């Protein structure tokens, strides 16, 4: 059976079952899908926290469904960098070990984030350690530790202003320079790992075209400055009320530079957009559109498609609003209509 037929047969039966049940006004029928990674032509990722791996059902779902893991927070400065300036790696090491054991790719997230300047950096005694040296040392230590395993890194996260105005203010920008701290971060990451693909990653690139323009302009500036930028990450945190067509336009636009594209954190919140049933339909439509748009890219630009979690139970958005359900699998790990739509979008 060709992969296409395989995919269509499963999706067809899932959608047909759903339709029968709507007529009977019963509980939605269970949706049966092949593992996402078995039918996508590109790596499929999910974020994870080390503590979540203690749940055997979630661990099983992860191994079954995805081929790449992004640590949800344990590779960030807020976790690694301790108040006295020392580093801890127990959480990210557990995730890296799990990925190795199960043959999954590891993706590093994230080295420099305006939102996470730890006290150790903010209060650095520059008479003892230069800020620029501490910055380089941090990046070398973190990237170097996973060298040979991490296939890529979000080197700089969320650095573009939402109104497209330019590079955000941050501790890093103030101390090292707005553009300079970004160029340096890419250079240090490259020094630590010659093979990892180095990403600029941001959010709202679908819903805010002016931000997308600024993001692309920054990418071009970095390339001209000789920064080893290797890919563009679009987080793709959407809401069910978001307009149709935004994802396709964004992916096509982002791909115009020719760099690999990572859909790096997709989820679709139900917090806005009509009745609950309408929101679930819109959610499925957006997942389908994302899979279609990503599938349309040339293979060399398909780095990976990552969801910001697999089960609704672990989603950061559910922690903010208990009624939210932004992911492909419900709280019990059963595939939702959104999962069937995503599979359908693969073509």
Q: Which residues here bind ligand 9MR, judged by CB under 6 A?
A: 72-73, 76, 157, 203, 235, 265, 316
Whether the bond into 110 is cis, omega within 30 of 0: yes
Rounded least distance, CB 203 to ligand 9MR, Å = 6
**CB closer to ligand 9MR, 234 vs 344:** 234
Is residue 265 among the annotated active site residues?
yes
**CB closer to ligand 9MR, 157 vs 302:** 157
Rounded least distance, CB 5 to ligand 9MR, Å = 37
User: What string of H, E and C letters represents the secondary structure of the chain?
Assistant: CCHHHHHHHHHHHHHHHHHHHHHHCCCCCCCCCCCHHHHCCCCEEEEECHHHHHCHHHHHHHHHHCCEEEECCCCCHHHHECCCCCECCHHHHHHHHHHHHCCCEEEEEEEEECCCCCHHHHCCCCCCCCHHHHHHHHHHHHHHHCCCCEEEEEEEECCECCCCCCECCCHHHHHHCHHHHHHHHHHHHHHHCCCCEEEEEECCCCCCHHHHHHHHHHHHHHHHCCCCCCEEEECCEEECCCCCCHHHHHHHHHHHHCCCEEEEEEEEECCCCCCHHHHHHHHHHHHHHHHHHHHCCCHHHEEEEEECCCEHHHCHHHHHCCCCCCCCECCCCCECHHHHHHHHHCC
Q: Of 72, 265, 289, 314, which one is the catalytic site residue?
A: 265
Rounded least distance, CB 204 to ligand 9MR, Å = 10
**CB closer to ligand 9MR, 234 vs 302:** 234
Rounded least distance, CB 318 to ligand 9MR, Å = 11
Rounded least distance, CB 77 to ligand 9MR, Å = 10
Is residue 74 among the annotated active site residues?
no
**CB closer to ligand 9MR, 31 vs 150:** 150
Rounded least distance, CB 69 to ligand 9MR, Å = 14
**CB closer to ligand 9MR, 199 vs 203:** 203
**Which residue's CB comes closest to ligand 9MR?**
316
**CB closer to ligand 9MR, 201 vs 283:** 201
Q: Of 72, 158, 206, 292, which one is the catalytic site residue?
A: 158
State how far the alpha carbon of 297 is from the alpha carbons of 254, 310, 337, in Å: 11, 24, 24
Kindly list the catalytic residues: 158, 265
């Amino acid at each position: 059976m060709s992969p296409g037929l395989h995919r269509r047969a499963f999706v067809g039966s899932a959608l047909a079952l759903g339709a029968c049940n709507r007529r009977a006004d019963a509980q939605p029928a269970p949706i049966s899908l092949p593992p996402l990674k078995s039918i996508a032509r590109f790596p499929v990722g999910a974020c994870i926290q080390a503590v979540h791996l203690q749940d055997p059902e979630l661990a099983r779902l992860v191994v079954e469904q995805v081929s790449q893991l992004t640590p949800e927070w344990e590779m960030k400065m807020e976790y690694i960098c301790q108040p006295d300036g020392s580093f801890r790696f127990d959480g990210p090491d557990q995730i890296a070990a799990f990925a190795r054991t199960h043959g999954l790719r590891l993706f590093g997230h994230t080295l420099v984030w305006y939102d996470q300047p730890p006290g150790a950096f903010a209060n650095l005694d520059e008479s003892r350690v230069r800020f620029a040296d501490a910055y380089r040392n941090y990046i070398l230590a973190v990237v170097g530790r996973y060298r040979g395993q991490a296939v890529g890194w979000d080197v700089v996260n969320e650095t573009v202003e939402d109104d497209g105005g330019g590079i955000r203010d941050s501790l890093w920008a103030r101390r090292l320079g707005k553009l300079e701290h970004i160029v340096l971060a890419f250079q240090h990451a490259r020094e630590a790992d010659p093979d990892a693909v180095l990403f600029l990653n941001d959010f709202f690139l679908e819903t805010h075209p002016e931000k997308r323009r600024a993001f692309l302009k920054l990418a071009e500036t970095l390339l001209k400055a000789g920064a080893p930028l290797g890919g563009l990450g679009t987080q793709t945190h959407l809401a069910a009320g978001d307009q149709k067509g935004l994802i396709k336009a964004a992916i096509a636009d982002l791909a115009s530079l020719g760099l690999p594209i990572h859909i790096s954190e997709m989820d679709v919140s139900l917090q806005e957009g009509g009745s609950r049933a309408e929101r679930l339909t819109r959610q499925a439509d957006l997942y389908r559109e994302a899979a279609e748009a990503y599938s349309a890219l040339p293979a060399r630009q398909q780095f990976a498609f990552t969801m910001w979690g697999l089960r609704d139970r672990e989603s950061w958005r559910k922690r903010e609003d208990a009624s939210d359900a932004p992911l492909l699998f419900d709280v019990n790990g059963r595939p939702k209509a959104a999962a069937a739509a995503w599979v359908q979008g693969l073509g």
